[in-house]
Chain A
Amino acid sequence: MGECLIETRGLTRRFGARVAVNDLNLSVPAAGVYGFLGPNGAGKTTAIRMLLGLIRPNAGEVRLFGAKVAGNRASLMRRVGALVESPSLYPHLTGRENLEVTRRLLGAPRNLIELALDTVRLTQDANRRVREYSLGMRQRLGLALALLNKPELLILDEPTNGLDPAGIHEMRDLIRRLPDEFGVTVFLSSHLLSEVEQIAGHIGIIHEGKLLFQGPLAELQTRQQTQLIVGVKQLDAASECLVNAGWTIARTIDGMISVLAKTPDDAARVTRLLVDQQIDVFHIAQAQPSLEDIFLTLATRTSRITDHVVAAGASR
């Protein structure tokens, strides 16, 4: 296994009686994009804030580049860029001036500003005040701020939140380019599986503060049962017939039955079974499980955190 850029061990944070992050053991390998997936309120932002030292954990530790963050924050953060939720910008300053503020704080060379602007394609609008920027432009400027110090690790918390479809596409395209063009490892949080699966090689799934899955995306996909969405007129009869034949019905929505399937041939089997019982099938399709389905499956089947990425973390 390669080097882990982010490792957490037993990371826990409570707010009063509520446990926002519960015994989190992350292992984020170097290179590529790591998708940190979870519904709103799952604990993603709290975990990210602990990674960055913005809030202190109640228990556990964070290691970046193999070193503890506690006591080494300043030196480690020199290698990290971050965009936490919406970008924090000074609206009365221009895009370039916003970068200049951060450049001065970092003591970075001036030429990095133009490089960052060019990377996020904001050079043309760099001298406009940020209050005139669209949400997409603000988000790209936030990304430029995170990239300013040429980080080895980029932590992005829901970077496409609130963007229109064009903005989402543009941001996704930008993030996808970063590992190859700049050698950056991207840690990307999102509540959208569709967004993460297009760019991430590894994912971690967090739900109610606990890590339910961690590993290559392909690994998760093979563990998930495909669903067959079957459209029939005789809903009750079809349901009864399928259950009697040993199929598992996940749910029934809008006159459609969702059946858990294991192999591609199952679509043919289900169709044949229903037709043999004189039940007309007017629609059948395979559906990727939604994030909700994945959470439900993992939450019920996984009682312990599975870690398929890095064995090194376990031996430490």
Chain B
Amino acid sequence: MSLLRALHAELLKLKRTLAFRVIFVLPFLVATLQFFIAWRTKKFPADFNIWDSLPLSSMQVWAVFMLPLLITLETALLNGIEHSDRQWKHLFALPVPRYSVYFAKVIVAQALILISTFILAALIVLVGIAAISLRPELANAGPVPYGWIVKHATFVWLASWLIIAIHTWVSVRWSGFPIPLGTGIAGTFFALFAASAAIGKYYPWLLPMNIFLEGRGTAALVLGVAGGIVAVLIGCFEFVRRDVLN
């Protein structure tokens, strides 16, 4: 019950915030990039099918780059609201269990990432349809692969739970952008090196991308979800016991 109340309060806090706008902006950037690629490509191979290429490349760009960036921004913005006017002391002085506040923060971050990922999914469909109408040579692409898009959007989101959990704790623990942003940049940067290594299978910032790699998909899902839950519980344990000095 207290968790539902905390979630209800979190929704109101989102009003007029950048945290709410960002979930539309980043998918739009990916979709715009894909649209221009489809529109400006001079010649497509004879056997080219836009529904084989567009959803996969869009989701991969999302998984490896935009999604970690979105998670970094969202969690920093969501928790920055509480740091900005030293809200934690007010929240913790209320008769509300601290774990409710923490879980509400995680759930709202997860929900915003999910919405953003499905906005991208919808935009992928729109971009594909627009590209087909602009380029007659793509007309034989067949039906829109809604099932594939929904399934992979969901899997990418589930695999991102561990990153969301890590970033939620970091942005709750430290105020301001430098440390959360530094964590996000470092995590994404080292992902470039980890991708080809064996450790890449378990590296948190690569898990959403691993959904698309042969032999890594199941591990990415299990580690993303289970690791995310464990990381949330550990973060919550620290959060509940913390002294509020500011």
Instruction: Tell me the A residues contacting B by CB distance below 8 Å.
Output: 49, 52-56, 73-78, 80, 82, 84-93, 97, 100-102, 104-107, 145, 149
Contacts and interface: CB of A to CB of B under 8 A. Distances in A.
B95 A77 contact: yes
Contacts, number: 87
A90 B95 contact: no
A53 B97 CA distance: 12
Nearest to A91: B85
Interface stretch (B5-13, B64-72, B114-122, B126-134): B5-13
Given A49-B244, A92-B15, A104 B90 contact: no
Contact of A88 (B12, B90, B243): B90
Contacts of B93: 52-54, 77, 80, 82, 84
A145 B90 contact: yes
B46 interface: no
B29 interface: no
Nearest to A75: B95
B98 to A, nearest CB: 10
B16 A92 contact: yes
B96 interface: yes
Nearest to A138: B85
A271 B244 CA distance: 56
B92 interface: yes
A213 B29 CA distance: 65
A83 to B, nearest CB: 9
A105 B6 contact: yes
Given A54-B92, A84-B93, A90 B87 contact: yes
Given A52-B93, A54-B243, A84-B93, A91 B13 contact: no
A52 B91 CA distance: 11
14 contacts: A54-B244, A73-B95, A80-B93, A84-B89, A86-B85, A87-B90, A90-B87, A91-B84, A93-B12, A93-B13, A97-B12, A101-B12, A105-B91, A145-B90
Given A93-B16, A101-B9, A105-B96, A88 B87 contact: yes
